Structure 1
């Protein structure tokens, strides 16, 4: 198994189209995400965490645990509406990864931030939200620490992934990434 900068699975044209702004049907995008996930797992491809760094806008999500049933892709999803902008930002300071998850509607922003760690054997990015902020424009209305699972345990680095939320990434291209969340849903993010 080798580590690569990008999971260079032959990307279905459907995902390229969805990432570039077109809107293929939700079942088509879900099927393409399932196929990319299947190929990455079958070939045991590893992503480098650097491939995930940056800010990503949620483009498409299939939250109802899509999967193959009897060899056929099952499940559907939806494109994020333009009025609600959901984004993820991954950054690194020295050896520490940080995640920021934000939902913006108009000038209002709900933002969660915290530490993250990448486990390359399974392409898992585990994280723990340690701070909640509510902003309107650049004015911070709420900025409070969260009593997270790792905070209760006392040390994020030592906290088992089994106790943390995570994303299992299976596709990382220059302009978009795709992952399955701990809850089983699939998501496609485009670079912001």
Structure 2
């Protein structure tokens, strides 16, 4: 399905509106059109456009396509509002460094991952590493601890290359939403609530 370049922003904005969302296939095509336009126009998205809390609205998985030697996108799906997943980006005063926090609420249980992030601006790549985990039940913290390399990893984070870290390659940002391709090849759309 081909989406004209002028129409992808309208479709992405519509997806943020829970009353009149486009089908998963239409949204997936719009995300791909936005990514292609961003690459063609060499779109530069400032770190400030990503700051704040965003609810995951839509995601696709991806798998390797053996026949074509590339990535094959999964169908894609909208995440229900009753199991919200969100991501928050903060920036250290006019720096390329900040923090990322990823939260998932399932019933009364909240799982939160957090750690450092870096947004050098090249190709709109935001590299990150989750170094802490926290669990809450009914809003009460029941566990918080380091994961993987913890404190040591945060100190070494600045020295690691983007190629060795998880990352998002952002290709669309507006007041209503942001969209990116993950390191694994899947696409995601986050929206402001």
Describe how 1:67-82 pairs up with structure 2 within 5 A: 75-82=74-81
TM-score after normalising by structure 2: 0.85
Q: What is the CA-CA distance between 1:150 and the residue it aligns to?
A: 8.8
Conserved? CA contact 2:54–2:191, under 8 Å: yes
Greater per-residue strand proportion: 1
Partner residue, 1:15: 12
Within 1, Cα distance between the matches of 2:57 and 2:153?
Answer: 33
Q: 2:31 aligns with which of 33, 44, 47?
A: 33
State how many pairs are aligned.
Answer: 180
Unmatched segments (≥5 aa) in structure 1:
1-8
Within 1, Cα distance between the matches of 2:183 and 2:90?
Answer: 21
Describe how 1:47-126 pairs up with structure 2 within 5 A: 47-64=45-62, 75-94=74-93, 95=95, 96-126=97-127
Partner residue, 1:158: 159
What CA RMSD, in Å, does the superposition of the two structures yield over aligned residues? 2.4
Unmatched segments (≥5 aa) in structure 2:
none
TM-score after normalising by structure 1: 0.85
Greater per-residue helix proportion: 2
Q: 1:120 to 1:136 in 2, by over 3 A?
A: same
Q: 1:153 to 1:48 in 2, by over 3 A?
A: closer
Question: Which ranges of 4 or more aligned residues in structure 1 deviate by more than 6 Å?
Answer: none
Q: What is the CA-CA distance between 1:151 and the residue it aligns to?
A: 3.5
The reply on whether 1:142 has 2:143 as its aligned counterpart is yes
Q: What is the CA-CA distance between 1:152 and the residue it aligns to?
A: 5.0
What does the per-residue CA deviation read over 1:108-157, in whole Å, with 9 as the maximum and x for residues that have no partner?
Answer: 10000001000212100000111000111331111001124994595111
What does the per-residue CA deviation read over 1:13-55, in whole Å, with 9 as the maximum and x for residues that have no partner?
Answer: 2212111222211110000000000000011111100000000
